[in-house]
Structure 1
Amino acid sequence: MADTEARWYVAHTYSGYENKVKADIENTIVNRNLQDQILEVYVPMQEVEREGKDSKKLVQQKMFPAYVLIKMFMNDDTWYVVRNTRGVTGFVGPGSKPVPLTDEEVASMGLMSSVAEAPFSIGDSVIVTSGIWEDTVGIVRQIDLKNKTVTINIDMFGRETPTELSFNDVKVCD
């Protein structure tokens, strides 16, 4: 039961335990040094509009209540860790055999977008296109592909100050 490539699997949980299961699995990954086998634990969320007494507000809601998505190499160790996490009732699949999500299912949930590339590299000069730093030029120091943010150094009062911005708020200088 060993995979040669990391795939997305779905673990069924008790309702309301999704975030607790995610946190427990992430702690176990660190404690057992499984970072190279269990790569990502994800509870899909979506923004929905809720009506209150006086106004409407946007809130985060689970897309699949009672399910947690896990990108991992399936083997006896990873199966055991996930299956024996408090709150997990089992994997989605026939019997005790987990079935990975297809590439189409993964793409439809937007999970493949986390492997996107940044339109710039560390050390590039970029210009801020919106917000309070608009028209400010900075040097890329860090890129976070998962959250699609970039940390740039901006000269403020004669000192370089790190500032985190969205990919959409900067562009490479010509």
Structure 2
Amino acid sequence: MAANHSSDHGSDTNHRIYNPYHNHDLPITAQYRYKLPTSPEFLFTEESLKKRRSWGENLTFYTGTGYLGGSVAGAAGGIVSGFRSFEFGDTAKLKLNRILNSSGQTGRAWGNRLGIVGLIYAAIESGVVSYTDRDDAWTSVVSGLGTGAVFRAARGVRSAAVASALGGIAAGAVVAGKHVFKRYVHI
């Protein structure tokens, strides 16, 4: 454990000294200690009581997760499609080219679709939370309903209604799965 020097504690009461290596028996010098502020991170206490991401963080998280998940799933489907497109007499180089082209094209298309779904979901969820000032399971279900309706609105009312119902069911299933996971899997 590194010793604290009197120069570290000076008359500055707005900062506390933090040493990330204090639990380890390492000969670390004072240069690796940090002065962290003691003031609260939030200006208002109401902000500190909310345990959720901001709308910008939600937007980034859902869009990025949707794009990544869609790209991986689409690439896997593209690999299968590439294997199915083999013809008799193809060389190994041509087979590899078919697999790479198919997985890249399908992965890109599915990634874009699911990224847009994540973007719409994040926008609707942030709007619902801002309007109702609540963040619960019903907020997620309403956001799923709205996401399905907006995503398929260009294909007609019937398609939008079906997609809305599927989006609400999917969002409800994810929320229920999250609660079950928290209850039975202790991490």
TM-score bucket (shorter structure): under 0.3
* TM-score, normalised by the number of residues in structure 2: 0.20
- Larger Cα Rg: Structure 1 or Structure 2? 2
* TM-score, normalised by the number of residues in structure 1: 0.21
Q: Which has the higher contact order (CA 8 A, sep 6+)?
A: 1
Q: Greater helix percent: which structure?
A: 2
